[in-house]
A and B are shown apart, each in its own frame.
Chain A
Amino acid sequence: MARIGVFVCHCGENISATVDVARVASEAAKIPGVVHSVDYKYMCSDPGQQLVKAAIQEKGLTGVVVAACSPRMHEPTFRRACAEAGLNPFLCEMANIREHCSWVHEKGEATTHKAIDIVRTLVAKVKKNRALQPIKVPVTKTALVLGGGIAGIQAALDIANAGHKVILVEKEPSIGGHMSQLSETFPTLDCSQCILTPRMVEVAQHPNITLHSYSELEGLDGFIGNFKARIRRKARSLDEKLCTGCGLCTQKCPLRRIPSEFDAGLGLRPAIYVPFPQAVPNKPVIDREHCTYYRTGKCRLCEKVCPTQAIRFDQPDEIVEADVGAVVVATGFDIKHADFFPEYGYGKYKDVIDGLQFERLASASGPTLGEIRRPSDGKVPETVAFIACAGSRDPAKGIEYCSKICCMYTAKHAMLYRHKVHHGRPVVFYMDIRAGGKMYEEFVRRAMEEDGVQYVRGRVSRIYERGGKLVVKGADTLLGARPVELEADLVVLATAGVAQPGAEDLAQRLHVSYDAHRFYAEAHPKLRPVETNTAGIFLAGACQAPKDIPESVAQASGAAAKVGALFSQSELVREPLIAVVDRQAPPVYSSCSGCFLCQGACPYQAIKREEIRGRDGQLIKTVAKVNPGLCQGCGTCVALCRSKSIDIQGYSHEQVYSEVLALLNRGERDG
């Protein structure tokens, strides 16, 4: 006979404000099989959990239903409490009467009635629950880090220093990400290359880290602790072991005028190139799209001059397989470019540039060797307009969020401009200054007060070219919304930070969910920022949302700590919510009739064929068998099986059947 305990939570008054919790408890007590039914102000608090433990021991409960918040919140909490009191955790269910009831309905009879329905549904389910033991699964103690920006580098180093193997995959020819493109970084103005390059070298030389640069993730199968990654090493068209990185080929290549991605289109590069001097690995790659050989079969000059004959024109892509136990996604972000803005001329004005392009102008290794010059005529600009919130916080452009870092780098840009062009006049058009980090506000204050940067609070409505100058039409809302018209020589747009192109393809390959702006979705915005809903896959850096370097590094170390925790046990404990095929005593052995339609439908190839033989070795029948290590518990096979010979623990036929009838108040007569 079932002995069920029901515990109805007030959740302070989040539930009791619209649901008559006392009545829910008293009605629950009438349900056959319920022997204990109470309500309490804070079930998830220690005294609340103590109520559950005491009731289990005193009344010998065989099942617990906690009517409170969503199981996605506190199911683990109450299952742990039950386990501590000696009741198998999988005999505890949560009835969601907060998110699905008290918060979304008005106070009244219908709301309380619905709460009672929900409790009755879960009581019916818990009666059919069975005690389950967790599954033990081996853990491969190698981590896969996707993305070689500062976040990926930090995560890789932390995991490697914890003594685990790391595979770092970077899409570009060199690691470094957007940080390597920066000139100096706020708030300390120390040179980006100086603080980044040592870390990049450390990655290259770390014995635990295998670096696959100019490579992308082809596919990922398996599950936490047992992923199988397929990495595509794109052909660099040269043998990396032979190449010494002398750079002769890059000097001799006849094609010199290809826009350099690293210089954000302002600088030029040859067809065989190293993105930037401090690149790691410091080996060139042939750009097959522009290289003459790949278009006309001629030239091959680089091959002739190469002292170690390292050039391999017909080198194919290579697929590398790797077993990994955890994945840290640190693929970074992208920014909108000038051509995105109709009111700023759709990118037709050469002197309207974006933040990254200004970084390249200001960078010593940039196309202008650090001098601020106009891309159109190379002159030093007398007046520079900096426009903050270009695209960000603009619902009409589909980007309602704030990109968080632009206020800081705009102040930095204005400051750098003043340091390089003393008589120059920087004018920043802004809406609000967001300088919330450590030493951030002081940094912006310094730009205003010591470096004479003029801040005009108002949005720029239009930019157009007149007489060689860029007319910036804005307003100054602090001076009575007076229209402002500034003739600038250069305009720098602090454009919105957006997700990488192709972010959703990678998400679908990893089975990670993403939000409307294609940033990857964290498991919980406040409490689990570096985890995803897919066990074993973690997040770090701007791929989760725009953020600055300190935050990206902190997240990377956080993700690395999570991986460390995962790798600290030799075995992984997994929820036993998996499918099981019916087995019976001989002569039937199983109700499965061996049609194996389930096998084809399983996304994890978790269903195998098992031959059942008599003692004489005679084959009696071939039936399905689920590999508990691979099955992820989706239940598709269960709903496909015509003879109901396969069932899933936690959502079994009996459980869901009884839930449907209980919800409609047609439960069975028995207790």
Chain B
Amino acid sequence: MAEFDPKIVAFVCNWCTYAGADLTGTSRMKYSPQVSVIRFPCTGRIDFMLLLKAFAGGADGVIVSGCHPNDCHYSSGNFHARRRWIVFRGLLDFLGIDVRRVRFSWVSAAEGAKWAQLVNETVEQVRVLGPHRAYQRLRGLGVG
């Protein structure tokens, strides 16, 4: 097919972004089907290793999204996650892995439109970046 359709995995927190995505659904807003969601209790629960596993599994892009600061259902999970991502992005960039393929955001339970926009924007950005060849060329893929 002419255009490259990126595969994107979204790690989202149950209380805000997952509920926001539900709202996008109940509002019948349309967005790209290239993104699938994995539910976590909180962004604090998202292990950086899982992002590596997503790329190793063939994902071209990753979205990580949860409650806005101060809105976390568990009060501080998103703050810990934010610190983790600051360090992790510094490492990935240093290792030559393109951090533009990992999109971090805060989407609340009331922001259905923002979820649709986040998905579409990320799909377009990753479509421009093309398939994650650098990662897929790594020998040893498929053993998982």
Contact = CB atoms under 8 A, between A and B. Distances in A.
Interface of A: 70-72, 96, 98-101, 103-106, 110-111, 113-114, 117-118, 121, 508, 511, 513, 515-516, 521, 533-534, 577, 601, 603-604, 632-636, 638-640, 648, 650-651, 653, 656-657, 659-661, 663-666, 668
Contact of A660 (B28, B29, B38): B38
Contact of A639 (B18, B24, B84, B109): B84
Contacts, number: 150
A661 B9 CA distance: 10
Given A106-B30, A118-B36, A648-B41, A639 B46 contact: yes
Residue picked from B5, B14, B39, B108, most chain A C-beta under 10 Å: B39
B31 to A, nearest CB: 6
Given A651-B41, A656-B50, A508 B70 contact: yes
Contacts of B40: 635, 651, 656
B41 A70 contact: no
Contact of B36 (A121, A508, A603, A639): A121
A634 B40 CA distance: 9
A121 B7 CA distance: 15
B10 to A, nearest CB: 10
A531 to B, nearest CB: 14
B15 A533 contact: yes
B144 interface: yes
A634 B53 contact: no
25 contacts: A72-B14, A72-B19, A100-B21, A103-B28, A105-B30, A118-B36, A513-B71, A513-B109, A521-B109, A603-B74, A634-B42, A634-B44, A636-B44, A636-B74, A639-B45, A639-B80, A639-B84, A660-B38, A663-B9, A663-B38, A663-B57, A664-B7, A664-B59, A666-B57, A666-B58
Contacts of A110: 5, 33-34
Contacts of B39: 71
A104 B116 contact: yes
Interface string B42-81: 1011111010011001110000000000111111110011
Given A99-B26, A106-B30, A663-B38, 5 more contacts: A104-B25, A118-B36, A533-B109, A577-B41, A666-B142
A651 B41 CA distance: 8
B104 to A, nearest CB: 15
A101 B31 CA distance: 10
Interface string B68-108: 00111111110011001000000000000000000000001
Contact of B22 (A70, A516, A577, A650): A70
Contacts of B118: none
A199 B36 CA distance: 54
A103 B58 contact: no
B48 to A, nearest CB: 8
B144 A635 contact: no
A511 B16 CA distance: 12
A655 to B, nearest CB: 10
Which of B38, B53, B71, B76 has most A Cβ within 10 Å?
B38
B22 A99 contact: yes
Contacts of A96: 22, 37
Contacts of B58: 664-666
Contacts of B22: 70, 72, 96, 99-100
A664 B58 CA distance: 7
Nearest to B75: A603
Q: Chain B interface residue count: which class?
A: 35 or more
Contact of B18 (A72, A104, A118, A666): A72
Given A103-B25, A639-B45, A659 B74 contact: no
Contacts of B5: 110
Nearest to B19: A72
Nearest to A101: B33
A238 to B, nearest CB: 37
A114 B36 contact: yes
A104 B30 CA distance: 4
B140 to A, nearest CB: 13
A666 B144 contact: yes
**Nearest 3 A-B pairs (CB), nearest first?**
A99-B25, A635-B45, A636-B44
A508 B7 CA distance: 36
A118 B76 CA distance: 29
Given A70-B25, A664-B57, A635 B73 contact: no
A176 to B, nearest CB: 32
B21 to A, nearest CB: 6
A533 B34 CA distance: 30
A648 B9 contact: no
B126 to A, nearest CB: 14
Nearest to B115: A104
Given A511-B75, A603-B76, A636-B80, A663 B19 contact: no
